[in-house]
Amino acid sequence: MAKWQIDAMLDAALTYISTNATQLFVCSGQPANYAGIAAVALTGGAVPSFQVNANGDAGGRKLAVDEEADITVTATGDATHVALASADTLLYVTTCTLQGLTSGNTVTVPTWDIEIDDAA
């Protein structure tokens, strides 16, 4: 018998992120928790915006995180991760293309997707 789940289950997880994420950080490493963001953040917490949940590129469901342009860089270092957080909780972390950032400059995070695959 094949595995299956209703799209609403995956949408609930994605909606949790889009409803609760109030900060987007570009980081020089993967934060382990909310307190750990301070040790690796290269930017302040930009306010993220999102698209409506949709079908994933290869099945499942996805949430598009909109481009955030001209985020002020607050520390010099190599960007390796992007993190989404609420006011006190780390919600989601992903990798990004390695890029050297310099304090006082700006960085743009292009549109990207969070995808959850169908049950397999």
Please classify residue 4 by burial: count the beta carbons closer than 10 Å to its beta carbon, then call 0-12 exposed, 13-18 middle and 19+ buried.
exposed
Collapse the DSSP code of 101 into the 3-class scheme (helix H, G, I; strand E, B; otherwise coil) and give the result. strand
pLDDT band, very low/low/confident/very high, at 29 (cuts 50, 70, 90): very high
Rounded to two decimals, the pTM is: 0.95
Reported as a single tens digit per residue, the pLDDT across 55-90 is 999 999 999 999 999 999 999 999 999 999 999 999
The percent of residues in the chain predicted with pLDDT above 70, rounded, is 99
